[in-house]
Amino acid sequence: MDTSTARVALAALALLAPVLVGCGGDDGTDGSGGGGGGGGGVPEIEAAALGTPVDIEFLSSEAGNAVQGPGTVTITAVREGAIKDLTDAGYQLDPEEAATTPFYVDVTFQNNADAPVDLRSPSGRDQDGTLISSLILLDLGSGPGFAPCPKVPQTLAAGESVKGCSIILMREGSTLERVSYHVGGTEGFLYWESGL
């Protein structure tokens, strides 16, 4: 079966959803990790080493970002992939995306709350502090997903843990310096060194 018409990388839909492209963008902060520029900056915080669990309060992904409860997020590994992994799996990429290198960011979530919590995919920061959003893969059929990097589930049951993965596309000449995780709402980012 030809799955190329049933699988789309959301970054390819840049004209329809420009804020969701996988190759960069701005999160409304100055992107430097410093507090600069009058109110929009992300405070500088030390990046954790890969494999270090970071305590968080999970926030709802719905409007209002209500606190759902405590848990941890751990970036366990950053693996270099190949665009061929995506095209061989039937995903359609535009020429700009096809000229990038994908990095697979493995993450583990632990929900210590008494109720389900909402999860978000990790993102990245390049050597200039620019936010690089994760690539979103759409399976328009009932395909098995992308085996090299199983997606982050949307929710996690109370008291459970789960593993997932996000894809960060890096342009030539850019380096994935840090992995970032945005808890939601007005909360800042958490960071891990990429190990690259």
Specify the range with the lowest mean pLDDT, choosing from 49-58, 77-86, 143-152, 163-172.
143-152
**35 has a pLDDT exceeding 80:** no
Angle at 109 between CA 116 and CA 180, to 5 degrees: 120
**146 has a pLDDT exceeding 80:** yes
**pTM of the predicted structure, to 2 decimals:** 0.78
**22 has a pLDDT exceeding 60:** no
Which amino acid type is present at position 13?
L
Q: What is the pLDDT of residue 52?
A: 96
Please enumerate in sequence order all residues whose Cβ is within 8 A of that of 15, keeping only pairs 6 or more positions apart, or say none: none
Q: What is the pLDDT of residue 162?
A: 97
Between 89 and 176, name the one with better pLDDT. Answer: 176
Going by DSSP bridges, is the β-strand pair 67-80/101-111 parallel, antiparallel, or unpaired? Answer: antiparallel
Q: What is the pLDDT of residue 3?
A: 40
Question: What structural domains and CATH numbers belong to the chain?
Answer: 7-193 (2.60.40.1240)
180: phi then psi, degrees, rounded to nearest 5: -125, 150
